Structure 1
Amino acid sequence: MNLTLIQEQPLVSNLQQEQWKSMVKEGAVGALVVYDISNSDSYESVSRWLTEMKDHADANIVIALVGNKSDLEHLRAVPTEEAKNFAAENNLVFTEASALNAENVELTFHQLIKSIYEMVSNRKFDMDGGEGGANNNNLKGNTITLTPAPKDQKISKGSNCC
């Protein structure tokens, strides 16, 4: 099963078509579009990313909209309700998470994988492996196992993330 992560970065706005196609792996059944809750420009780019994805990915790809840096609530520039409503209007899975302290990261992946499972179970993906479609090799026999982190694992307090 292929998942794609799209995260807004300053250089990303100048992507050419071939670079975009390489970001959305052929046969991807899920994608994460990540914006920074403390940066409204980052959030405003989400619509563009969704348009690009519709142009280059399978029509039934499951997309999760993730507001990152939820640990920076005091710097919030994007209201949760606004992003949640946008996600609902566009049939996106929605969560807010913090990569810094791992809050809701596991939940985000669980929700995405559950939605992908439901989509695949309902046979909504192009099983013939057409352009951008998920083929049988991507959907058969692959197992993703999620295990909780050990309780004694320390979470980095550095700020080198996203």
Structure 2
Amino acid sequence: MARRQYDLLFKLLLIGDSGVGKTCILYRFSDDAFNTTFISTIGIDFKIKTIELHGKKIKLQIWDTAGQERFHTITTSYYRGAMGIMLVYDITNAKSFDNISKWLRNIDEHASEDVVKMLLGNKCDMADRRVVSKERGEKIAVDHSIRFLETSAKANINIDTAFYELAGAILERQPNEPQDTDRSVVNPQSGGGTSAGGCCS
């Protein structure tokens, strides 16, 4: 009988304005690749990557959503069942940062109450073009009690850290009951592993 290759399945979402680097973050993490010529995501794209955390094999199903307004109705349905959400803005684009409050409202409207959120200030390698200070990012994260990191998909700064921290935070919230080995649907309420150790917030 074939045994499943992972213990837990976590559905993660990348959201934020168009052009902030969501697709680059996803490809850097999943394939360790960076490409400056990605075309804008049309609707939805997703990648799978299995990681090991606290002795558990965790399959991450990472959904990359389109930031453009015209795809907004398509993407709202993908909030359902998401266990972790990364909100991404571009440190060289003030409007993408200002819109984080709008994306937070979308999460409140469409995602489950216990979804784990993380704020990423992307393109931190472009210090000479920075218009959003790290302190402003930290402040909005503290105000909303969410984790915060500055990242660069191009220079590969904090990309793995972000996904491992988010997965670790979700893992800590899993109830201490055995995982049903036949269940493979994405279900935030499904049983999970023990929270051995933890992640700093």
Q: Deviations over 1:63-95 (max 9, x none)?
A: 110000010011111010111011011011100
Task: Specify the alignment match of 1:151 in structure 2.
Answer: none
CA offset at residue 135 of structure 1? 3.0
Equivalent residues in 2 for 1:67-86, closer than 5 Å: 67-86=121-140
Change beyond 3 A, Cα 1:96–1:60? same
CA offset at residue 114 of structure 1? 1.7
Matched, 1:6 2:34: no
Moved more, 1-10 or 78-87: 1-10
One of 81, 86, 90 as aligned partner of 1:27: 81
Q: Deviations over 1:120-158 (max 9, x none)?
A: 359xxxxxxxxxx7231xx548xxxxxxxxxxxxxxxxx
Unaligned runs of 5+ in 1: 123-132, 142-162
Contact preservation (8 Å) 2:16, 2:103: no
One of 106, 109, 128 as aligned partner of 2:163: 109
Q: Which has the higher helix share?
A: 1
Task: Specify the alignment match of 1:66 in structure 2.
Answer: 120
Pairs aligned (count): 129
One of 30, 45, 48 as aligned partner of 2:102: 48
Contact preservation (8 Å) 2:77, 2:110: no
**Structure 1 vs Structure 2 CA RMSD:** 2.4
One of 119, 125, 132 as aligned partner of 2:173: 119
Change beyond 3 A, Cα 1:119–1:15? farther
For 1:14, give the aligned amino acid: E
Q: Which has the higher strand share?
A: 2
CA offset at residue 115 of structure 1? 1.5
Q: Give percent identity, aligned residues only.
A: 30
4+ residue runs over 6 A deviation: none
Change beyond 3 A, Cα 1:98–1:16? closer
Matched, 1:18 2:27: no
Change beyond 3 A, Cα 1:119–1:19? same
Unaligned runs of 5+ in 2: 1-9, 20-65, 177-186, 194-201
Change beyond 3 A, Cα 1:17–1:73? closer
Change beyond 3 A, Cα 1:140–1:116? closer
